[in-house]
Amino acid sequence: MDSATAEQVCTGNGIEPRRSSTCWPALADKNLVLADEKQGRLAIGCSETVRQYAQDRLRESGEEAQWLNRHLASFSRARRRGSSELRGPSPQVWLDRLAAELDNLRAALS
């Protein structure tokens, strides 16, 4: 997911937006997240092993549903924004972004 979406999902509960953006490089240095430049945007991801570990910890703490809902809400906001973008002057830009986020969108919907 792009860094702006990751920031929307991962901030709150004591994590300030400005702090989250400084966390990505430190987490990437420790190989906990993967950071890559895609279409002029910073894309944030993680390995399946790290994703599963994090999900297990969230489940154990009772916070899994809260974070899954934040993830889904983020894509719901993007869908509303995308509706107008697809009718705008550059629909291909939005279609490319959706294609890049397809795995995250599937995860949010499941």
Q: What is the reported pLDDT for 104?
A: 80
Q: What is the reported pLDDT for 45?
A: 84
Spans of all domains in the chain: 3-109
CA quadruple 42, 43, 47, 52: dihedral positive or negative? positive
Q: Please state, in angstroms and rounded to a whole number, the distance separating the CA atoms of residues 12 and 41.
A: 22
Q: What is the reported pLDDT for 19?
A: 66
For residue 34, the surrounding DSSP H or E stretch is: strand 34-38
pLDDT below 50 — which residues of the chain? none
User: 106, 69 in Cβ contact below 8 A?
Assistant: no
Digit-coded pLDDT (tens) for 53-81: 999 999 999 999 988 888 888 888 877 77
